[in-house]
Amino acid sequence: MKLTILGSSSALPTSERFPSAHVLNAHERLFLIDCGEGTQMQLRKKRIRFGKINHVFISHLHGDHVFGLYGFLSTLNLMGRKAPLSLYAPEMYGSILRSHLGDFDINLGYEIDFFPLYGNDPVLVLDDKYITVTAIPLIHRVPSFGFLFREKQKDRNIIKDRIIEFGIPVERIPAIKKGEDYLRDDGTIIRNEDLTLPPDEQLSYAYCSDTRFCPRLSTFVKDVTMLYHEATFDKDKTELAAATFHSTTLDAAKVAEKAGAKTLLIGHFSSRYRKIEPLVDEARTIFPRTFPAIDGKSYEITNNTIDY
């Protein structure tokens, strides 16, 4: 998995930070998460192919997370897209989108498969060959959802030398990688653990923005490889964060610590902060493996220790 930050600002963009938008590359498929103003420009700068994006996830219906979507959908149409686009967003967005397309006389040449998000419990919204995606309820002024992307259990790794040693036919290899023992023609059983190594550890990514501090969130993203959690304010703005249903640096760090996350990425920074290093330093007092989301930067999601 690889994550590219297209925007890390909160409501007001700055000269260096665009509103919220991420692209997750999972098994060479691209998932767009939120689509603030300027997303198209950032996609161009990073040379990310629009046509490879088949799933768009919108966390909530505030402008800094959705205003870029209208232009993006129109651009896909102008580019001649024919493949359906899956769109996951709070349920009321269905009527808003239909109204927008009608008001601006936009006739899309492709279908939008709309998946409404609602409720107060995690819901599985995508389940394919490689990953699952779960929508997670957050606490904000309007219905808001996070998204947990988790790889499915991978096959075991077959030891190549064993293939030659035991003369294993090619057609038997898939079953062995799934965990089966190998039965030889003479009736001898070769145990699977003698033929394979454990599978690579599953990777996962959780996107959580916007939300007030939510203690139970850590249970939803337990043991996540990389957690992105908004940190709109520093620790001195605790009351403001609560009043606006946002989180502080320490709130984000507490969720990461309780969840047992491997890495914490903070973002959605208020425009009042010209330098974000102090915000990162604050979060690190609780969760040392904290890094800033920086516009235009890509992050490898890995279980190995990497200094971003």
8-31: pLDDT as tens digits = 999 899 999 999 999 999 999 999
Other beta carbons less than 10 A from residue 116's beta carbon: 14
pLDDT band at 138 (very low <50, low <70, confident <90, very high): very high
- Residues 72, 107: contact at Cβ < 8 Å? no
Annotated domain spans of the chain: 2-154+200-300, 157-197
Run of H or E including 278: helix 277-284
Mean pLDDT of 87-110: 95
Examine the pLDDT at 165 and tell me if it is beyond 90. no
The CA distance from 247 to 139, in Å, is 10
* CA-wise closest residue to 135 among 97, 89, 95: 89
153 compared with 287, residue with greater pLDDT: 287
Distance between CA 221 and CA 208 in Å, rounded?
10
- Range 225-253 average pLDDT: 97
Cβ pair 264, 301 in contact under 8 A: no
Which three-class secondary structure state does DSSP give residue 54?
strand
Mean pLDDT of the chain: 94
| Closest to 93 (Cα-Cα) out of 133, 139, 56, 60 | 60
pLDDT at 93 over 70: yes
Tokens representing 47?
Answer: 């040379």
What is the percent of the chain where pLDDT is above 70?
Answer: 99
Report residue 306's pLDDT band, with 50, 70 and 90 as the boundaries. Answer: low
- Strand, coil or helix: what is 74? helix
Least confident of 121-130, 195-204, 249-258, 269-278: 195-204
User: Residue 162: its pLDDT value, please?
Assistant: 84
Query: Hunting for tokens 């959580």 — which residue is that?
Result: 208
> Annotated catalytic residue: which of 64, 234, 251, 295?
64
Mean pLDDT for the stretch of residues 241-253: 97
C-alpha to C-alpha distance for 98 and 89, rounded to whole angstroms: 13
Mean pLDDT of 212-238: 97
pLDDT of the residue at 305: 63
| Residue 100 near residue 20 (C-beta atoms within 8 A) | no
Q: Give domain 2-154+200-300's CATH superfamily.
A: Ribonuclease Z/Hydroxyacylglutathione hydrolase-like (3.60.15.10)
Is 223 among the residues known to form the active site? no
Q: Provide the whole-model pTM.
A: 0.89
Across the chain, the runs of DSSP E, i.e. the strands, are 2-7, 21-26, 29-33, 53-57, 85-90, 112-117, 123-127, 131-137, 145-151, 157-158, 182-183, 189-190, 196-197, 204-208, 226-230, 263-267, 290-292, 298-300
DSSP-derived letter for residue 199 is P
Least confident of 19-28, 61-70, 148-157: 148-157
